[in-house]
Amino acid sequence: MEYIHTIRVAYADTDQMGYVYYGNYARYFEIARTEALRSLGISYAKMEKEGIMMPVTNFTVKYSKAALYDELIFIKVQINELPDRFIVFKYIVENEQNDKLCEAETRLAFVHADTIKMARAPQYLIAGIKEKLS
């Protein structure tokens, strides 16, 4: 499953050199994965109301080139396998010149909101991803 999210780099997201501050990528990835799920008709807010939370358990990133103020960047979000107790999102960020800016991966767990114990992915999430993987 693949989804591309577009973001224009805001001045507030940059450091003194005009580069995107490295910590802002985590927020960019959260926005992109939320919209990727929304493109499947799935809402984080709905899952939370149903008592399922998705904390990040692992986050890795490799930076290749800086994203700049006012630059349009494209975040390709990939889900390459069906979730069970975890879901893995892969990200590739490019600019308008198709330069790869970074690659990243997040792993999120499914947990019950009331107990914080492991849960299984909701069936509608699995079905939505399965349909896109076919």
pLDDT tens string 59-82: 999 999 999 999 999 999 999 999
Residue 90 forms beta bridges with which residues? 78, 105
Contacts of residue 105, defined as CB under 8 A and 6 or more positions apart, other chains included, come to 58, 59, 60, 61, 88, 89, 90, 91
DSSP 110: -
- Farthest CA pair distance, the chain: 47
- Cα(110)–Cα(127) distance, rounded to whole angstroms? 16
What is the C-alpha end-to-end distance of the chain, expressed in Å? 9
13 is an active site residue = no
Which residues of the chain carry a pLDDT beneath 70? Answer: none
Q: What kind of architecture, by CATH, is found in domain 2-133?
A: Roll (3.10)
Catalytic one of 15, 70, 84, 114:
15
Q: What is the pLDDT of residue 74?
A: 98
If phi over 0 gives left and psi between -120 and 50 gives alpha, with beta otherwise, what is residue 131? alpha
Q: The tokens of 46 are what?
A: 């709905």
Are 20 and 61 a contacting pair, CB within 8 Å? no
Q: What is the pLDDT of residue 132?
A: 83
